[in-house]
Structure 1
Amino acid sequence: MGIKLIKISVVYFMIGVCIGLYMSMVHDYTLAPVHVHINLLGWTALTLAGLIYHLFPAVSTTKLAKAHFWLHNVGLPLMMIGLFLFVLGNEALVPVIATGGVLTTVGILLFGINILKELKAE
């Protein structure tokens, strides 16, 4: 699971960099919230989780790890697509942002619980 998360995080990194490049080229930073969330929750958080799961494979095989993987990777795209369209003026997508945010947050909390519960000194 660690390698999968690292590969997924690289996709988020590429998307985040492209959004940043676009904003700097057109001198319009409306998408800054999307850029920041993709880089922090997509690139950084998933890279770190992937490294932890790779370095400590025992914590990557639990039900909590699987729940984290799916909640984070379903919630974050929902939140980012909703936020992207919201900052461009579509206020009808606030529930999508909230749903994605809750899924992502629950996934991250489960990741934390999993690490605190299952990670043992060797």
Structure 2
Amino acid sequence: MDRKFILSAFGYAILGLLLGIYMAASKNPAQHVTHAHFMLIGFLLSFIYGLCHKLWLNNSTSKIAIVQFYVHQLGAVVVLVGLFLYYGQFVPIETIDPVLALASIAVFSGMVLMKIEFIRCTKE
């Protein structure tokens, strides 16, 4: 699981940095919130999860670890796409807000599942 998280983290970082470069080149900072979420939810959180799996969870491939990976990735991708669509003025907030709310809950659930993994790991 560590490798999956680290590879996804670098993918998010590349996309987030490209978005930042685009904003700087175009002198249009409209997507700064999306850029920040790419770097924090996408890159940083995925990278931290990867380190946790490598250093403390013995690279667990338990059912919880697998579910946690996909819940986090699904939530992160939907949050990032939703924010890009909203801040790019492609969709109104009324349309995207419920989607962003559910995706945020998915990202939160991924964090709760990571804590459960740590609790289970220390008991074993």
TM-score, with structure 1 as normaliser: 0.89
Aligned position for 1:112: 115
Q: Distance in 1 between matches of 2:14 and 2:122?
A: 31
3-state secondary structure, aligned to 2:28: coil
**Which structure 2 residues correspond to residues 3-42 of structure 1 after superposition, within 5 A?**
3-42=3-42
Shift of 1:102: 1.0
Q: Is the 8 A contact 1:56 1:119 kept in 2?
A: no
Unaligned 5+ residue runs, structure 1?
none
Aligned position for 2:86: 86
TM-score, with structure 2 as normaliser: 0.88
Give the fraction of aligned pairs with identical amino acids, expressed as a percent: 28
Aligned AA for 1:63? K
Q: Is the 8 A contact 1:12 1:39 kept in 2?
A: yes
Shift of 1:42: 0.9
**116 and 59 in structure 1: CA distance in 2 versus 1, 3 angstrom threshold:** farther
Q: Is the 8 A contact 1:34 1:84 kept in 2?
A: yes
Matched, 1:98 2:101: yes
Deviations, residues 94-120 of structure 1 (Å, cap 9, x unaligned)? 222112111111111111221133146
Unaligned 5+ residue runs, structure 2?
none
